Amino acid sequence: MTQSTTESRNKAHEQAGRAQDAAGRAVEAGKEAVGAVVDKAQQAAGDAVKAGQHAAQAVGNAADAATGQVGAGVQSLAQSVRQHGPESGMLGQATDTVASTLEQSGRYLQEEGLTGMADDLTNLIKRNPIPALLVGIGIGFLLARLTSSRS
């Protein structure tokens, strides 16, 4: 082989090596860029989940506060029933029973809120699944009758 051919091959090998190095650096840079994009996407998703959780918690707190206000209104109604209803006889006993039930209901609404009511309903359904299923079927039947008669 001639010297110029050897030099040409060496130069070609050098250029190929440089090209491989450049390609390797480009691949690494691409991997880093993709990793950075993935990290940012994960962070954005995590931030969105946190924001959603905070919003749901705020809605739950607002619902509990509204339920507490309804409870206070029910207790106020109980006091009105007691004040304006008859005090003696059979109607007096009925008035007292209605007022006591309203007071207990209002207290329950204030203390438990919507979250507590949902928990109590869940526990009731777990303890009595068959009656809960039958009640659900009955409600579904009634709703179907109501909506089909309007059409």
The pTM (predicted TM-score) of the whole model is 0.54
Separation CA 117–CA 129 (nearest Å): 17
pLDDT of residue 151: 54
DSSP secondary structure letters along 16-60 = HHHHHHHHHHHHHHHHHHHHHHHHHHHHHHHHHHHHHHHHHHHHH
Query: Above pLDDT 70, what percent of the chain?
Result: 96
Helices within 85-128 (DSSP H only): 89-127
| 19-58 confidence digits (pLDDT tens) | 788 778 878 887 887 888 878 878 888 888 888 888 878 8
Q: What is each CA distance from 136 to 89, 119, 131, 149, in whole angstroms?
A: 40, 18, 9, 20
Greatest pairwise CA separation for the chain in angstroms: 130
Task: For 4-27, write each residue's pLDDT tens digit.
Answer: 777 777 777 788 788 788 778 878
User: What DSSP designation does 88 have?
Assistant: S
Instruction: Give the separation between CA 123 and CA 127, rounded to whole angstroms.
Output: 6
pLDDT of residue 141: 94
Q: Which two tokens stand for residue 130?
A: 């068959």
Tokens 């691409």 correspond to 30
| Rounded-to-10 torsion of CA 124, 107, 75, 99 | 60
Confidence grade of residue 134 (pLDDT, cut at 50, 70, 90): very high
Q: Where are the domains of the chain?
A: 3-150
